[in-house]
Structure formats: C-alpha cells, structure tokens
Structure 1
C-alpha cells in the first residue's frame, strides 16, 4: 500500500460513515458509532502494522451488514469479493439469539482466516478499551465484567495471529484479573 489512502479506501470510509451515520455507541457520551469502525481500522494499521488494504477496508465495514441496511451483495458490488468475504467472516447472524451469537463467536474464532482474525482482535481491543473507561448505558458492573470474560474466550481462540494486538489485549485482561 502507498503512504496515502487509495481512492477506494476513502470511498469505503465514506460508505461506512454514511451507513453508520445515525448510530451511537452505548457509552454515556453517545459517541458516534462510526468512530468504532475507524478505530478498528486504525488499530490494525498503526498498532498491528497491517498494510493489507483489503483488511483495513473490511475493518471499516466489519459491522455494516450486521448493524445497518447494507447487504453482502452491496459490499461485494462496491468493494469486491475479497473484502466482502472478510466482512462475511466477521459478521454475526442477527437472526440468532444473542447468547447463541456470543457462543458462536467463541467457537468460530479459531476457524476464521488469519485476515479475519486480525479484524476480530482489533475489534475486541477497541471494545475493551472503551469498556475500561465507560460502562454502557443500562449495563450493570456484573454485565461489564462478563463481557471481559467472554471477550477473553474469543481472543484465546484467535491467538497466534498478531503479537502486538495480543500483548495489548493481555494487558487489559491482566488489569481485569483474568490472566
């Protein structure tokens, strides 16, 4: 990848921003949700030293099918089969009950491609960093603690993918008494 974002990357960023434009995080400040997908892509680029533009673009789109009206067909038409395949690998099936989706994330983590695992690791890292400083509106401290425990189970099945991200996640787990 060049030292600057490609036009296609910028189109992807704009698409993600447009699709997530009305969404807010559940933190007390109701942060715009698009910040999360930008954070995930940035974590991959800056902290994990990933230069694979398709992975960085898929990170921007990792929640677009799950959380907006976008479809896999839309993603494939706009950004190609490779990026769509990565998005598909990291997308939960929202037709399933929440606990089943969480169980499947743990179970399926080890089966995904290395590139999808990178996105999953960066996603968990961003979510856990946020949870360290913010309790989502409506969450109890117990639910917050349970999220850390669950996320560690997912991360444990992603290990061996990127040492930088895993070290940063382990530091969070250590702080929470999970290591």
Structure 2
C-alpha cells in the first residue's frame, strides 16, 4: 500500500490509529452483547476502557487507546495476535497480549493467573488492565449479568480488588476510579439483595 503522496506507507497518525482500532473492534464484536438486562453492545465496554486509558494518559498514548479498543478481540473473537501486529503494530499487539487470558485454561485458573501476573505487567499494561476492571465493576453496579446471584457478584468484586492490588502505582486517578467503582458495585449488590 502506498501513501497518498505516492511514497511508502507511513505509520498512521495517532487519531487514525485509534479510529482504525475502533472500526476493527466494532466489526469483530458486532454480535457480542454484555450479559446484563439491557444486553448492551459489547463495543460500549471497549469504548469505556479506551476513554479511561485516554484520560489516565492525558490523551498522549494512541497505541494504548488502540489496545484498549482491541483488548478482547483475541480472547473473545479468536483474532490472532499476528493479525493485530500486522494491522496495528507490534506495540499494540504486545499490549493486547499482556491482558489476554488463555482460554484453554479453566476459568478459576485464569482468574488466579490474573492475580499472579498483575504486578508483572508493563506500566501501560497495568493501566489497561485496571481500566478494564473499572469498566467491569461499573457494569456490575449498573447492569449486572442476569444470572449472577449476590454471592457471585460480591466474590467478583473481591477478586477484582486482588487483581487491582498488583496494578497500582501508575495512575492515582484511575486507582481512585477503581476504588469508587468497587464500592458502588458492593452498594448496588446490597441494594438489589435487600429489595429481592
């Protein structure tokens, strides 16, 4: 592919990279929905994670924003990391790889490994993982999975806190958002339990 001026293709501008990632993720997750009552399009979650990392970095890290938009395409949609690297570059692919679980493992083992691996992620990988947890906790508070009973939801918050303990030190604002989301989730769970 050539650049419009006729020369070799240049690296995409930061905004173009993020928008290309959004378009790619939207297509790959077209039929995927969140598990709550509203069955929101999954891309809403991706956009929220991208916004959180953009705010945490002052909008200066387009590759991290792109990775936030793409962070579930390997795990949920089977997109090969090689395709992400070829389309968005090695940096984006590496960030996505850092936060991708091995779906061949049992769910409980995947959860355990997230706790173990969290302190060893790169600084940018930690931001991405923490933003994902913030978004998930907000969803748990506002529109939880329909089949989750209170005990499962409370256990999720406890586990998310264990993962987040290894992700701290990169963004006080994002860490505060996580803490607020965890508290809001617990309050919402208690409220729903009381009214059941």
TM-score over 0.5 for the alignment?
yes
- CA positional deviation for 1:145: 0.6
Alignment correspondent of 1:66: 75
Alignment correspondent of 1:145: 154
Distance change (3 Å), C-alpha of 1:76 and 1:47: closer
CA–CA separation in structure 1 for the residues paired with 2:172 and 2:59: 12
Is contact 1:65-1:91 (8 Å) kept? yes
Count matched residues. Answer: 174
TM-score, normalising length from structure 1?
0.92
Alignment correspondent of 2:91: 82
- CA positional deviation for 1:100: 0.2
Q: Deviations over 1:20-70 (max 9, x none)?
A: 001000010100001111110011113553421111100000001000031
TM-score, normalising length from structure 2?
0.84
Alignment partner of 1:37 out of 35, 46, 51: 46
- CA positional deviation for 1:8: 2.3
Alignment correspondent of 2:55: 46
Alignment correspondent of 1:22: 31
RMSD: 1.6
Is contact 1:48-1:164 (8 Å) kept? no
Confirm whether residue 118 of structure 1 aligns to residue 120 of structure 2.
no
Unaligned runs of 5+ in 1: none
Greater C-alpha radius of gyration: 2
- CA positional deviation for 1:19: 0.4
